[in-house]
Amino acid sequence: MSNKQIEGCNEMDDDVLLELCKTLEQSKIVRSYLKNKRSITKTAQELKVTYDVVRSVLYRLKRRYRLKNLGDNEIGVKSTSTLYDSEGNIINKWVKKDNVNTNLKEIVDKFIEEYSVDLPKYKETQKTKNNKYENMLAIYPIVDIHIGMLSIIEETGTEWNIDVADKIVRDCVTKLIDRSPACSECLICNLGDYFHVDNMFNRTPTNGNFLDVDGRYAKIMNVGIKLMRYLIEYSVLKHKHITVVNCIGNHDLCGSLWLSAALENIYEKSKAITVINSCMPRQYYKYGNTLIGMTHGMDCLPKDLPLIMATEKNEDWGITKFHYWFTGHIHQEKVTEFPGCKVESFKTIAGKDAWTNSKGFLSKRGMCCVMVDPQNGEIERYNINI
């Protein structure tokens, strides 16, 4: 892609460029591009992305502008010839068009580009032969992201809104998956409260408490789906098969359900991605000698979870040696050992809201990947700290 291909962007007004943006990332890049006097290099430096990322977005906007302003009469036109009389009046006109199939393919390709999901393009790295991690399971706990929450640094000491959540989650997910070893199986377990709100009234669905919210609910939904798709589709580069579980949180009783339904429909034809569409408050995953329970943690006490697992999954409990419960809700890392079972809550990467900060809850922020061996249970972890 040469610089000449995006010269058309320099001819567009600022407002036109901004109107062509369809995602938060595109808007962010264009605003920086305009602020930096349309310098791709300075924009890339400010946003800490590559030169090609900025250039690719500008090229896409130029294509979108041309497609939007392409007249119906121009589709398939290769050349025209006009016959005039001595007074300059048109006597006849001939229009020569390209092969119909060629033009249809070009039009379809343009529409596919415009309406495909706006995810960064990555080249899959070649898997190492005889990889010692090949037959293992990588678990990515996604804990209390609270997409849609509003927090300002002057009040809480941390900044959190839709734009910040979008950037931090993508950055952390990319670094964590890049750092983790390639292996055959992957479990993405969303442990609840992925969304901060569950309705358009900006209140908690159970007690009706008012929430600090950034953006309309439709926008929160859109960002949440795209972020989860980014996590799933980027993990495909490292893992052969991905299983996705969305637990019900106290902030997203309905959001967790429609998220699972949406993802199940998106990946229904995929052989590599399986989405568990369940409304059960507790979900389970068995891998070799290990049984994993997943729940948000808002209802059952940690001390009750081992017996609940042994009762609900008595057969799997009996044939497995290692038993783990993964929970969220309390926004902090806490591990409790019980006879035959370990119960753990994980840190979140989300910032603090005003209520959390007023209570003095100041836990560290981060994400992790848990590696599980089919015979020996958990063997190691990889961490990303904020």
Domain residue spans in the chain? Answer: 3-69, 137-385
How does pLDDT run across 122-141, given as a tens digit for each residue?
344 444 455 678 899 999 99
Task: Give me Rg for the CA atoms of the chain.
Answer: 26
Q: What is the pLDDT of residue 74?
A: 47
* Three-state SS at 112: helix
Binned at pLDDT 50, 70 and 90, residue 175 comes out as very high
Q: What is the pLDDT of residue 207?
A: 84
- In the CATH scheme, what is the code of domain 137-385? 3.60.21.10
Place of tokens 């798709």: 229
Q: What is the pLDDT of residue 69?
A: 64
Q: How many beta carbons lie within 10 A of that of residue 75, not counting itself?
A: 13
| CA–CA separation, 202 and 210 (whole Å) | 6
* Position 258 pLDDT exceeds 70: yes
Place of tokens 């840190």: 347
* Position 302 pLDDT exceeds 70: yes
How does pLDDT run across 78-96, given as a tens digit for each residue?
556 666 666 666 666 665 5
| CA–CA separation, 23 and 113 (whole Å) | 14
* Position 4 pLDDT exceeds 60: no
Q: What is the pLDDT of residue 299?
A: 92
Query: From the centroid of its chain, how far is CA 342?
Result: 29
Q: Are residues 137 and 183 in contact, defined by beta-carbon separation less than 8 angstroms?
A: yes
Q: What is the pLDDT of residue 62?
A: 79
Rounded to 10 degrees, the C-alpha dihedral 57/58/63/67 comes to 100
Q: For the residues 308-323, what does the mean pLDDT come to?
A: 98
Tokens at 19, concatenated? 């109107």
Highest mean pLDDT of the ranges 35-44, 52-61, 167-176, 197-206 = 167-176
Q: For the residues 41-62, what does the mean pLDDT come to?
A: 84
Average pLDDT, the chain: 85
| CA–CA separation, 138 and 180 (whole Å) | 8
Q: Are residues 124 and 240 in contact, defined by beta-carbon separation less than 8 angstroms?
A: no
pTM of the predicted protein model: 0.68
**Bridge pairing between strands 377-385 and 366-373:** antiparallel
| CA–CA separation, 275 and 277 (whole Å) | 6
| CA–CA separation, 60 and 66 (whole Å) | 10
